[in-house]
Amino acid sequence: MTGDRWSMPVIRALDDGPMRFTALMNAVEGISHRMLTRTLRSLERDGLVSRTSYPESPPRVEYELTELGETLSEPVRAFIRWTQQHQSEIEESRRRFDG
**Nearest CA to 37 among 63, 15, 57, 18?**
63
pLDDT digits (tens, 9 = 90+) for 13-42: 999 999 999 999 999 999 999 999 999 999
Give domain limits for the chain: 7-98
pLDDT digits (tens, 9 = 90+) for 77-99: 898 899 889 999 999 999 999 98
CATH code for the part of the protein at 7-98: 1.10.10.10
C-beta neighbour count of 43 within 10 angstroms: 25
